[in-house]
Structure 1
Amino acid sequence: MSKCILLGLLITVLTNAEGLKCMMCYGSSSFDDCNMNGRIEQCMSNQLTCETVVRRHGNRMTVMKGCKDKGACRNNQQQNTKYSGNSSQCNKDQINSLCTCCCETNMCNVGPPTCTEFYMDAKPEQDCLEPSTVLPHGNIECYGNNKPGSAVCEYQCMGKDYSVWPKGRLTNVCLGNGSWAYEPPCCARPCPPYYLLDDLQIYHVTGNDAEKQLQEMLEFVVYGVIAFDAIKISTMYHSGDPVESSIVQFNDYGENATLLVELVRKRMSVVNEGELSTGNAIQYALDNLFVPEAGMRDGRAPKSLGIITNTNLSEDAKGPAEEARRRGYIVYVNAYQTGSTKFDRERLAQITGAEELVYIFDDDIEAVTAQTLDVMDKYFCHNPCDHVMHEHQ
């Protein structure tokens, strides 16, 4: 047996092992509609043919595509020339027409069928623009030389927790008008827990059990995945002045969430000296921690400033908080209501700029934590394709 024959047999075996891929749609109103709303399916091992069926009643067309048994598809295609009415079953000179075409290579049934042109008058078509071949955290494979109706791009994401978004948009097809059916997708990770965010948390606690309450607050210091292209956290304690020895900067721990927690617990303790000045703490954070030297990322990563306390904020907090909001930062307050302390939600909302960013924790901490995460989702989980630290091509 010659090497060529052996090679041919090997290719056949590999193709069958992997399975044929065909465009699949049901009841589409046109080939472009099928391309946009259908999907590429992996055929079963006994389905060695891609089938296209086109029904026409007057000017109304219905397109069906999918995998098919080879013998069954060929039998259907042979009916194209069967005598019907004044001509054949597959025609363009009668009100009704039924055409079937079969092909046997991957995605060969994308676009109009090639075995007949009797389904409808042909329309002029133009090539699509060359698609991008760059998909961060993924791969793109394109076929068909940008030809309308036959060019297809397939998308696959690589790496931990990355998937194609919008969900299920694994293929893109060149339409007859020379445009791609969709904007290219991206490879994204779910938000939550992959918030893209620089979050700076400033703490102040008072009372006989202040140290214990502080440690309880620190249980929630990490609430998402810590990574360069996810959440980064900085922390600081304050009273009359910021306690510089308590500071953990954005760049102190790399992407190590365990190290972050260790540093926060090691450096953070209750140091209440002088009259409380929340405004000083916020201004210090704006001037010294929300800076690239402290690990703050560029504008692709949104910013938030959290004030975590069990007592009312000082009167000087409003001005610096407004400055943070002018910069586009989200300001929020986690207020732990204990003992006789009563928080004025309306006054705190003047600090945050929105009442929904004020979280008053009482006995039902889990419920308020769930509310907090819901609001986090609202502010920081929009289009997953925007939650990246790279540019889309």
Structure 2
Amino acid sequence: MKFWIVSIFVAYAIASVTALKCITCKNAMSFETCDLEGKQRCMENQNLCETVIRRYNNQLRISKGCKNPKPHRNYPMPNDRPSGKSTKCNGDEVNSFCTCVCEGDSCNTGLDNCIFPISVPTSLQVGHNNCPAPPQSFPHGKIYCENGVCRYQCTSPIYELWPAGRDQNVCGADGHWQYDTPCCARPCPPYVLYDSLSLYHFKPGSIENAIRTLTEIMGSVHVGPESTILAGLSFGYEPVESSVIHFKDGYNINSYGILFGERLQTFQDGTLVNTGAAIQYAIDNMFRPELGMRNHRVPKTISIFTDSNPDDDVQTASENARNLGYIIYVYAFEREGVVFDDDRFLEITGDPKHIFKFGKNFDSFPDTWWKDLQEHFCQDPCAHALHDHEL
């Protein structure tokens, strides 16, 4: 059983390995035109994406493609050599040449890493319109301002500009920018920012459907230090302390799956199901910074996976959790001889949309769960990334 549980979790965590893909073009007259020509799948020995910019009489010619890393070990060092008024990669000469390489799928998208500075000087470089100064940094990307126009680019393959298409901003004659500053955001889901703690209570006959549900949830979100992290606990009459998985151990889906398979407990009929006690235990002993819980900027959830009705007072502990801002879900799995008490489950969640019930024949995860996930955690793409890395 434990090997089967671990195998399911690991299967969801293994990513398929594919060749690098780079934006490819030849002598395009703008970055936008170049990027429209699409991606090329690189050869096995080509682990870098390259951008080459040539300037003839102040007219750009841009080429991009795949590159073998060996001839390029010293880049961008050669581009720091003197040329004209500044260095080899510059915009102050009518004729210049610049090349640079980067790692990651489509990392050579958009403005080039070599030419444009990452930070913006305190004095605004936008001419005479006196717009407010642009941000001094652009998390997960870079910003370049000149002659009343700011351009934005995300520098990580998993981040994209949001709102889409806002890669340029113009300072208007009225002294206001055309748009608010965009951000570099990740798709949500799968990059969902929250601390997710699960409480488990199962009799031996109903565990399989619960495992399928849990693995579908875990397979739909990215688990990592800047997205979802996991914690878990089995409970019956009381919390099983030997089953605890703390948030500090839940940054990786593989390691969590192994611990889950080793520590998950099942309970025989006749065991009291003290769900309220388990919720209060989690609040007091698991939602703690020293055990890996992140700060107030990261939403918190408690998910209860069960095949039984609660036997104790759940309202007090659940209200304590909700007053702390924690969102509570119940996932109830049909078991012979058990009729679920929806009123008791509602005492736990405080919201009927947070109760999900599953029959013996597991089919698929309800669409309402996906909708709820997006409503709670994906409304503002600029807010669900820890841009300053303060966890």
What TM-score does the superposition give when structure 2 sets the normalisation length? 0.64
Structural mapping, 1:1-393, within 5 Å? 11-12=55-56, 15-18=59-62, 126-144=129-147, 151-206=148-203, 208-212=204-208, 215-220=211-216, 222=218, 223-254=220-251, 256-271=252-267, 275-363=272-360, 365-391=362-388
Decide which structure has the larger Cα Rg and report it.
1
Residue 173 of structure 2 aligns to a residue in which SS? coil
Identity of aligned residues (%): 35
Q: Equivalents in 2 of 1:215, 1:18: separation in Å?
A: 52
Tell me the SS of whatever aligns to 1:275.
Answer: coil
Residue 368 of structure 1, CA deviation: 3.9
1:213 positional shift: 5.1
Question: Against the structure 1 CA distance between its residues 365 and 379, is the aligned structure 2 distance closer, same or farther, given a 3 Å change threshold?
Answer: farther
Q: CA deviation at 1:179?
A: 1.1
The Cα shift of 1:339 comes to 2.1
Q: Is the 8 A contact 2:273 2:312 kept in 1?
A: no
Q: Decide whether aligned partners of structure 1 residues 253 and 279 sit closer, same or farther in structure 2, where only a CA change above 3 A counts.
A: closer
Distance 1:221 1:197 in 2: 13
Q: Cα distance, 1:300 vs. partner? A: 1.1
Letter in 2 for 1:139: K
Q: Contact 1:214 / 1:270 at 8 angstroms: preserved in 2? A: no
* Distance of 1:205 and 1:296 partners within structure 2: 26
Distance in 2, matches of 1:205 and 1:363, equals 13
Tell me the CA shift for residue 275 of structure 1.
2.5
What is the Cα deviation at residue 258 of structure 1? 1.4
Shift of 1:233: 0.9
Are the structure 2 counterparts of residues 368 and 195 from structure 1 closer, same or farther at C-alpha, using a change threshold of 3 Å? same
Counterpart residue type for residue 256 of structure 2? L
- Tell me, in whole angstroms, the C-alpha distance in 2 between the residues paired with 1:18 and 1:343: 65
Measured after TM superposition, the shift of residue 341 of structure 1 is 1.9
- Equivalent-residue separation in structure 1 for 2:261 and 2:217 (angstroms): 10
Q: Deviations over 1:12-39 (max 9, x none)?
A: 17834239xxxxxxxxxxxxxxxxxxxx
Work out the CA distance in 1 between the residues paired with 2:233 and 2:241: 7
CA distance in 2, matches of 1:15, 1:265: 61
Cα gap change, 1:342 to 1:179, in 2 (>3 Å)? same
Paired residues of 2:237 and 2:271 also in contact (CA < 8 A): yes
Q: 1:364: how far off?
A: 6.2
Equivalent residues of 2:231, 2:250 under 8 A apart: no
CA contact (8 A) 2:206 2:335 kept: no
Deviation digits for residues 69-109 of structure 1, max 9, x if unmatched? Answer: xxxxxxxxxxxxxxxxxxxxxxxxxxxxxxxxxxxxxxxxx
* Structure 1 residue 388: Cα displacement: 1.7
Q: Distance in 1 between matches of 2:350 and 2:318?
A: 9
How far residue 131 of structure 1 moved from its aligned partner, in angstroms, is 0.9
Flag the 1:369–1:264 CA change in 2: closer, same or farther, 3 A: farther
1:228-272 Cα distance to aligned partner (Å, 9 max, x none): 111111011000111111111111144x22121111111212145
Residues 193 and 226 in structure 2, CA contact (< 8 A), matched pair in contact too = yes
- Contact 1:155 / 1:170 at 8 angstroms: preserved in 2? yes
Q: What SS class does the counterpart of residue 385 from structure 1 fall into?
A: coil
Q: Is the Cα–Cα contact under 8 Å of residues 210 and 333 in structure 2 kept in the other structure?
A: no
SS at match of 1:235: strand
Contact persistence 1:332–1:352 (CA under 8 A) = yes
Aligned 8 A contact 2:216 2:365 in 1: no
- Work out the CA distance in 2 between the residues paired with 1:195 and 1:213: 24
Q: Which runs of 5+ in 2 are unaligned?
A: 1-53, 64-127
CA distance in 2, matches of 1:296, 1:288: 11
User: 2:307–2:335: 8 Å Cα contact kept in structure 1?
Assistant: yes
Q: Tell me which of the two structures has the higher relative contact order, counting C-alpha pairs closer than 8 angstroms and 6 or more residues apart.
A: 2
Give secondary structure in 2 for the equivalent of 1:315.
coil
Q: Which amino acid aligns with 2:133?
A: E
Give the drift of 1:305.
Answer: 0.5
Normalising by structure 1, what TM-score? Answer: 0.64
Q: Is the 8 A contact 2:245 2:259 kept in 1?
A: yes
Q: Distance in 2 between matches of 1:335 and 1:197?
A: 22
Cα root mean square deviation, aligned: 2.3
* Mapped contact 1:172–1:180 kept (Cα < 8 A): yes
